Amino acid sequence: MTEIRHEPTAPTRAQWLAPGAAIDAHRHDDHQIVYAGRGVLAVTTSTGTWIAPGNRAIWVPAGTVHAHQAHQAHGELELHLVGLPARDNPLGLDEPTVLTVGPLLRELILAYTHTPHDESPERGRLRAVLLDQLRASPQQPLHLPTPTAPQLRAVCGILRTNPADDRTLAALGREVGASDRTLSRLFKADLGMTFPQWRTQLRLYHALVLLAENTLVTTVAHLCGWSSASAFIDVFRRAFGHTPGIHRPRRQTG
C-alpha cells in the first residue's frame, strides 16, 4: 500500500509540471487553493475528481487526501498553490470545490504565489483582498464522483474507457449483470446524480483534457460521444458559459 505523504503546512508557491505529470496523493493540515493559468488541472480524492480548466481554481479543504494531474498540449504547466491556515475558511466548505477565477482573482493568485513569503503589511493586505475575492467567487459543478458499489464501478469503468459509448443503461446493465432499475437507483444513492448527468460530466471532463491537448473541436465531439460538433458546443456552453474553442492552446510559432 502506498504511503500517503503528509505535509503539515500547505505550500504557497508557483511550480511547474510537465504535460501529463502528476503529484501523488498527499494531505495538508491547511486549506489550499490550486490554480493553473492554462491547460486543465484535475484534483482527485477517494470520492471523485474535480476538473479545473484555465479559468477555474480548486479549493482543497484541510486534511483532504488528494492528488494532482496536469493536462496540456505542450510546454510546462505553471501551477499556483495558495495555502491558508485551517482557521481561515472563507467559503465555509468542507469538500473540494471548483471556483470561477475572474481577472482580478487570477492576478491576486499570481501575485500572492510570486511575492516574497514574509509577514509584511503589504502581503497581509494582498491576502485579505484575495480572501474577499474567494468569497465572491461562484462555485462550479465540475465534479465527477467516484462510485463505490461494485456494479456501478463496472459501468462507470466501461464509460471511462470509452466516453463515446452511447449504450443505454439497460444495455450496460446486461454487461455487468444488473438491471437498469438497480443501476438507476445506485447512481442517485451512490453518486447523487442520474446516469445521464454522470455521463455528461464524464464527457465534459474528457473533452476538457482533449481540448487542452490541442484536439480539434469536431474531433473532441466525436470522441466524447456527441452526435455533432454543434450539439457538443451547446452542452459545453451551458456548462461553462463559453464555447470550447477558448480552451484549445494557441498555436506556437517560431
User: Do 223 and 115 share a structural domain?
Assistant: no
188 secondary structure, DSSP code: I
Q: Identify the domain boundary among 140, 172, 204.
A: 140
CB 80 within 8 A of CB 113: yes
More confident residue, 91 or 112: 112
Asked if residue 254 has pLDDT above 50, the reply is: no
* 6-51: pLDDT as tens digits: 887 888 888 888 877 888 999 999 999 999 877 788 899 989 999 8
What is the CATH classification number for the domain harbouring 66?
2.60.120.810
User: Do 160 and 134 share a structural domain?
Assistant: no
Q: Which of 124-133, 152-161, 178-187 has the weakest average pLDDT?
A: 124-133
Q: Which of 27-31, 47-51, 100-104, 168-172 has the highest mean pLDDT?
A: 168-172
User: Do 63 and 45 share a structural domain?
Assistant: yes
What is the CATH classification number for the domain harbouring 208?
1.10.10.60
Domain contains 124 = yes
Q: Identify the domain boundary among 93, 116, 140.
A: 140
User: Do 67 and 124 share a structural domain?
Assistant: yes
Q: Residue 150 and residue 37: Cα distance in Å, rounded?
A: 37
User: Do 158 and 113 share a structural domain?
Assistant: no
Dihedral sign from CA coordinates of 226, 231, 236, 242: positive
Q: What is the pLDDT of residue 44?
A: 92
Cell representation of residue 105:
482573482
What residues contact residue 37 under an 8 Å CB cut-off, 6+ apart?
Answer: 54, 78, 80, 106, 110
* 187-237: pLDDT as tens digits: 999 999 999 999 999 999 999 889 888 899 999 999 999 999 999 999 999
Q: Residue 110 and residue 98: Cα distance in Å, rounded?
A: 18
User: Do 121 and 32 share a structural domain?
Assistant: yes
User: Do 135 and 171 share a structural domain?
Assistant: no
Domain contains 94 = yes
User: Do 122 and 195 share a structural domain?
Assistant: no
User: Do 54 and 13 share a structural domain?
Assistant: yes
User: Do 33 and 69 share a structural domain?
Assistant: yes
| Overall number of domains in the chain | 2
Q: What is the pLDDT of residue 221?
A: 97
Q: Identify the domain boundary among 92, 113, 140.
A: 140
User: Do 178 and 131 share a structural domain?
Assistant: no
* 108-124: pLDDT as tens digits: 999 999 877 778 898 88
User: Do 231 and 199 share a structural domain?
Assistant: yes
User: Domain range holding 181?
Assistant: 147-247
What residues contact residue 71 under an 8 Å CB cut-off, 6+ apart?
Answer: 19, 20, 39, 40, 41, 42, 208, 209, 212, 213
